[in-house]
Amino acid sequence: MKRPIRRAAASAVVLTILASGAACTQRPSMMARSPHGIEDTPPSGKGGVIFTATPTPGPSPTPSVAATVVVEPPEPLQLAPGFRASVYADAVGPIARLARAPNGDIFGSLARDNRIVVLPDRNGDGFADRMLVWWEGPGLNAPDGLAFWGDHLWVANEDGLVRFPYRSGDLAAVAAPEPVVPLPAGGRVRGRPLAVNRLGHLFMGVGASCNACVEDDVRRASVLRILADGSRTSRYSSGMRAPSGIAIDSRSGEVWVTDRARDDLGEASPPDELNRIGPGAEFGWPFCVGDRRPDPQLGAGADLCAATQPPVIAFAAHTGLMGAAFYDGGAFPSEYDGGLFVASHGSDVQIMLQAYKILFVPFADGAPTGQVRDFATGWMKPDTRLWGRPADIVVGADGALLVADDAGMRVFRLFYSPNATPTPPL
């Protein structure tokens, strides 16, 4: 249920800022005050936009494994040249997030069912051997993001981060989840994406409670950084309405986030975003949209928005960006190495043919080249008939892409097969 926009509170903040003649670097005037003891990460550089990542080693070589089982999708998908699509697992339920365990097993979360499943492919034939329930019920509350670190599977519930004991190869939980960090539940944006870097820093997105309002809880509309040893939780970057996918570049250590912009400003605005986040970076929601433009309803002036960080790439409005993953699998042509795959889940605001697909963002020297390519399309037909919605992406142990479809309730496998017969056009 939508919460009413607190226009009075927003207007009061805007008037206070304008009346005081606040400098463009006065970040606290854009922020909710924190009653929760959550630390702010100090800005690094002007506006928090300069971030020097900790170098990390590249991924271990992954051998290419040829598929021996190909289950054709129920309807044709159009793929980049040389690629094929297969069903990796069917009748899974509304699976919205994926994660790869250290031994290569694929885990998935089903928020609507309060369930976590595991989809192993131990014989390496490209099709899940079976679907097993890892855990359901007690200790889960709309589980979303998943990550493996140390001896634990970390799960981002709507109301808090929890962790399960995990030993490589486990196919079921051996104990109930342990609460780690509480989170505000409810509201308009309920997903909680999660990723971990090589230093054991967990990054978790917490969406806004509303479409456009001044939040009471500083944890909202932010990405939190949580140290896996439990010693510290901080608000790492803020001003993103719906951080929905978090991908960490294994080469540079930089953290990239997809963000779904607000509704009710028309079908063509504002854009969804791909953001590079850093310590203390502020992206302007709810007062600013797109490339540092004042929100026409809550705008606080051009000077305030000029101090925020712009998106690296602006996508079409309401494309519903969700999960994202850097490609480090070694089984695709070299042009895909280090690039970013993004799931476009679509939106209820507008039915658009430019959504419901997997997009590819090429990278060079650690930054996007500016191009955005269609990689896999066809979940929506030209007559707007919809039979699937990509929600998340993970790179499998064999270098293929696995795609969660929470509407079709299955997982797809997209793999390179240069001699494959091209998919017939629509």
d(CA 110, CA 250): 27
Q: Which pLDDT belongs to residue 188? A: 80
d(CA 130, CA 128): 5
- Nearest partner of 340 among 377, 373, 380, 388, judged by Cα: 373
Domains identified in the chain, total number:
1
- Nearest partner of 214 among 3, 9, 2, judged by Cα: 9
| 405: in domain | yes
| 288: in domain | no
d(CA 234, CA 227): 9
First to last CA, the chain: 37
| 425: in domain | no
| 7: in domain | no
CA distances, 145 to each of 163, 259, 367 (Å): 11, 15, 25
| 185: in domain | yes
Q: Which pLDDT belongs to residue 3? A: 38
CATH code of the domain containing 402 = 2.120.10.30
The radius of gyration computed from the CA coordinates of the chain, to the nearest angstrom, equals: 21
The boundaries of the domain holding residue 411 are: 36-62+71-279+311-416
| 292: in domain | no
Residue 1 structure tokens: 């249920």
> With 0-12 CB in 10 A as exposed, 13-18 as middle and 19+ as buried, what is 218?
buried
| 295: in domain | no
Cα 412 vs. chain centroid, distance in angstroms? 18
| 15: in domain | no
How much is the pTM? 0.85
Q: Which pLDDT belongs to residue 37? A: 58
pLDDT per residue of the chain (426 residues) written in tens, 0 to 9: 333 333 333 333 332 332 333 333 333 344 444 445 567 766 654 333 333 333 333 343 444 444 468 999 999 999 999 999 999 999 999 999 999 999 999 999 999 999 999 999 999 999 999 999 999 989 999 999 999 999 999 999 999 999 999 999 999 999 999 999 999 988 888 899 999 999 999 999 999 999 888 899 999 999 999 999 878 999 999 999 999 999 999 999 999 999 988 776 666 679 899 999 999 999 988 999 888 888 877 767 778 899 999 999 999 888 899 999 999 999 999 999 999 999 999 887 655 667 999 999 999 999 999 999 999 999 999 888 999 999 999 999 999 999 999 999 999 999 999 876 555 544
Q: Which pLDDT belongs to residue 380? A: 92
Residues contacting residue 324 through CB under 8 Å, at least 6 positions apart: 245, 246, 247, 256, 258, 274, 340, 341, 342, 343, 393
